[in-house]
Amino acid sequence: MNRILIVDDERFEREQLCQIVEEVFPREVQTRTAENGRQAVETAALWSPGIVLMDIEMPGLNGIEAAKRILSQLPGCRIIFVTAYSLFQYAYEAVKMGAYDYILKPVNPDDVARAVRSCIDRAETEEELKAMAPMAETLSDGASLDKTAILMANVKKYLQHNYMLYDVSLDSVGDILHINSSYLSMLFKKSFGVNFVDYLTELRIHAARELLTDPFLSAAEVANMVGYESPNYFARVFKKNTGLTPTEYRKSGAAGGKDRGV
């Protein structure tokens, strides 16, 4: 059962978010609420939620500061900010800080459902991958194809749900599985015919193309949202894979077309 803490100083907003979450995920979540940042930190310390839906602009301890304190106690917690568009820049900075996502007010139930589902899926794929570690440690060059296929399918699923994290890499996935990153790279290429790094890049560029359809997002914001800390590096990778810089891609009209899946 996924524990979700909902934080907002406005009672109506808290109740609305609770209603949306409980209606969309009736058998998957437990919810609790907090009416300010300080109460959120205290509740998180005692209850250990996996997801926190939190307003940014609250009196006293605001959402940004509360999130920092919660993440220092619960580094695996996923923070989703709920904020007015006028505070969008704060939400963007918060995502760079370690928050998972943000939703703009007035909240759209579909946006809430998408963000929460993404958090749940990401947590599940991480746990599934961790559970594969004993199997991964027993693999050898003569390992059965079935074991290898199962393991690599889980790695691929993990990447599909976690590509936006800055620290996703061969080394980080190898650490989860307790296997050498070079060996992981070999298994991935053998299973799918594409390099691990190339596949991760393909996921990120695909997501970036989708995000570039939003004229309100800058290229730097898109870069951070798909896992690149450096906008300049993102621009180079994007051009290498599409033939255009993010700005050129948007101006060309290509961002308005259908993108292929990965």
pLDDT in tens, 63-83: 989 999 999 999 889 999 998
Cα–Cα distance, 217 to 232 (Å, whole number) = 16
DSSP per-residue string spanning the chain = -EEEEEE-SSHHHHHHHHHHHHHHSTTTEEEEEESSHHHHHHHHHHH--SEEEEES--SSS-HHHHHHHHHHH-TTPEEEEEE-GGGHHHHHHHHHHT--EEEESSPPHHHHHHHHHHHHHHHHHHHHHHHTHHHHHH--TT--HHHHHHHHHHHHHHHHHHTTSTT-SHHHHHHHHTS-HHHHHHHHHHHHSS-HHHHHHHHHHHHHHHHTT-TTS-HHHHHHHTT-S-HHHHHHHHHHHHSS-HHHHHHHTGGGSPPPP-
- Name all domains of the chain by residue range, CATH numbers in brackets: 2-122 (3.40.50.2300), 132-193 (no CATH), 199-256 (1.10.10.60)
Cα–Cα distance, 10 to 134 (Å, whole number) = 47
**Mean of the per-residue pLDDT values for the chain?**
89
Whether 54 and 100 have beta carbons less than 8 Å apart is answered as: no
* Whether residue 87 has pLDDT greater than 70: no
* Whether residue 240 has pLDDT greater than 70: yes
* Whether residue 108 has pLDDT greater than 80: yes
pLDDT in tens, 126-168: 899 999 998 888 876 555 677 889 999 999 999 999 998 888 9
Average pLDDT over residues 37-43: 97
pLDDT attached to residue 224: 84
Tokens of 143: 């390992």
* Whether residue 172 has pLDDT greater than 90: yes
Alpha carbon 184 to its chain centroid, in Å, reads: 23
Average pLDDT over residues 35-59: 96
pLDDT attached to residue 92: 65
pLDDT attached to residue 45: 97
Cα–Cα distance, 101 to 87 (Å, whole number) = 14
pLDDT attached to residue 261: 45
pLDDT attached to residue 260: 40
* Whether residue 25 has pLDDT greater than 90: yes
Whether 98 and 92 have beta carbons less than 8 Å apart is answered as: no
pLDDT attached to residue 208: 96
